[in-house]
Structure 1
Amino acid sequence: MRKLGLSLLNILLFLSVAHAQQKRTIDKIAAVVGASVILQSDIELEYAQYLVSGQQPNDGFKCIILQNKLTQKLLAQQAIIDSVTVKDEDVDADIERRMRSFMQRAGGQDKLESFLGRSVIQYKDELRPDIKEGLIAQRMRQKITEKVNTTPQDVRNFYIAKKDSLPSYNKEVEVGEIVFSPKLNKEEKQYYKEKAEELRARVKKGEDFANIARSYSQDPGSAVEGGDLGFFDRGTMVKEFTANAFKLKAGEISPVFETENGFHFLQVIERRGEQVHARHVLVTPAITQQSLDRAKATADSVYKVMNAMKKFDFSNAASVFSDNNETKYNGGMMLNAENVQTRSTFIPTDKLDPQVALTVDTMKVGEISKPQLFSDAQNGKKSFKILYLKSVTDAHKASLEQDFAKLKDDAMADKLNRTVSQWFEKRRKETFIKIDPEYQQCPPLKSWITASSTAPVASK
């Protein structure tokens, strides 16, 4: 699998070099939008990124790429008129995110630069104009729809209009949890703190920070990149990490400090306004059987108290005892991962963690489960949980009574799409657009084709 990824990365990097070379010589113009041009090399570069993501070759996807670029150009041109801009630090953050992904696929910055045939800094400069335009286009789209809202009558009208094609919903449940995570005591932590201190001392004595991070850091996301985290702002990291990063000057190394993830030390590489570029080393303590036993004992005690009560306040118990910050402040209720923005607590049973699904399948509404040991599917971390089954909704066809919140989301999405479509319809009629004959048969571009747009497009 890794060889395939690198092969696709080679395609991307080869095309990115070709992209830069073509712009310096002759490059076919795929489309003209107002005063802007879209080059064939722009499309080929984005198509290579599509392949890198693991998709199968599909020339038809180039039609979608061109459609997206036409859309971006129109939005960006209107943004100039409406004085819609983005901050440089937002552009920088997006570029850093992309480059971290590229470096991870390549196996580090050195390998990436070897593939590119130029420095990462040079490549960032090449990417910057298109990324900035894309962010401006996003901001402009938000402005177009910022006053769109839905009323209860809008939802009812949407329901009536779609009555013959309404979706059916699978069985859904509302499940709460109280999580008891194993915690090491001070003595158990000391070994790992000392290990972090030893690694920091080696860096202070002159060993290369990046090599230490690659060899010893237990942060899977940054270790391969020498601990490099790119640029981040004050709201990105946990508070202990932020506190250390933002009080250092470029080149300085922090003392060893503890977060929920373990023991760290970091080095600031660069400060840029309210963003900092840093790298770190993480030493993660291993959970002991003793810490698991202590977590189980606490979970058993809480369960006995709750089970002995005729009525119990699960929400209050979760806020006091749960170690999962994502659910404890939501009354202990799990959120639908596919609908996080609306903070929906209704979760299709086929989307539940399999361990949770097996447990709640044996429970009655209003019942709490005995503490059980669970393993996180993503990181393997173990914890004990008490589960609470708040409600069960059987599979059914959408109705206003049961599914008003879902239908409101659908009605809002429909209204947003119609608002944007109407805006584009008007702008297309007012803007000079030409599309190369190669793309004039693309189904996604039919609405962009006008008499003027079918004329041949010159090469650049």
Structure 2
Amino acid sequence: MNVKTKLSNCMRPLLLGALLITTGAQAQVQPLNRVVAIVDNDVVMQSQLDTRLREVQQTIAQRGAALPPEHVLSQQVLERLIIENIQLQIGERSGIRITDEELNQAMETIAQRNGMNLDQFRSALAADGLSYMDARDQIKREMIISRVRQRRVAERIQVTDQEIQNFLASDLGKMQLSAEFRLANILIPVPEGASPSAIQAAERQAQEVYQQLQQGADFAQLAIAQSASETALEGGEMGWRKAGQLPPPFDRMISALGVGQVTEPLRTPGGFIMLKLLDKRGGDSQVRDEVNVRHILIKPSEIRSEADAQRLAERLYQRIKAGEDFAELAKNFSEDPGSALNGGVLSWIDPNALVPEFRAVMEQTPAGELSKPFKSPFGWHVLEVLGRRATDTSEQFREQQAANLLRNRKYEEELQAWLRQIRDEAYVETKL
């Protein structure tokens, strides 16, 4: 296996596979390059289209999906390149710059992932006829696009007081701001069209399981042994649910349960179900412990692997420790649309509203100190605790929660709307 083939899988998440997927035969043939699209003050070249098209075809093939006709796929890929080109020009006009230090760090992380130092990596690229500067330029393009989206889209998001009040008054708002319950279940199945005797047998089995639970039997073990639920092998664990997400009468019953209690078996279309309340958070408690915290979020993506995200978070941590301003770094790097423009500040927030990984690190970090980089389901974080307090639940707190929910909901919608807008406003002439 040559170096080119070996490295392509490692670099694809960051470089979008644009530089390292050329086969040996393709590397020897150099087709005549030409302009395939004029985009405002720039162009898209045939070589760019061919490279990206090969990457997309390879990705689709790896997923086992059928490839559309090449002319259809080419149009789709060209449109993507046009959108990217427009964003790069916006970044240029906006003065967005990627420093040499940032680019060097990105190239170093790629080299490390391939088990090389930077000089070895450069030599490996050259040996396969691939330009180190082309790789560096592609990374720079993707970093600029990421920052352009963050700034332009976040600035477009507006949540009005009326929207907040409407959301709080809606059934959806009441459900999302209500208590959450961590649940597990055991399902004793009843086959479709079961005879009365089969139904009675299932009910007897469910009652026997319930009695064992009441006598102290381990719920998870019984779930693994007897439940027909799809979560049986996880001990019946269902994760967090709100009462409004449960079918009647569980929606009413669960609110009356204490942590550790189990509902009696109830007949459902699929059989007899018992729910256990493992934990509870949120709801109508009058006093909350709140934390004033700010953070920087770095997300893995098509252009940034998990390891790259971790290394960037660690680099930002070191820069803050060295005296750089947290707020400025958050504005420039954080990918949390709800807090980046505010310097990463989440303000006073209920720890129970946060994912467990974030909450655990926050609780262990003293006020006025910085956490080391850590991972949550959203990506890699660095956080700083600014203060702690106990406060009564207030309308202002509920409004803050509603505003955050609405802002995050709007982000993806605004991103797509903004992309359509910049595409419509740009001068584009295709030459395929």
Q: TM-score, normalised by structure 1?
A: 0.37
Q: TM-score, normalised by structure 2?
A: 0.39
Using CA pairs under 8 Å that are at least 6 residues apart, name the structure with larger relative contact order, 1 or 2: 1
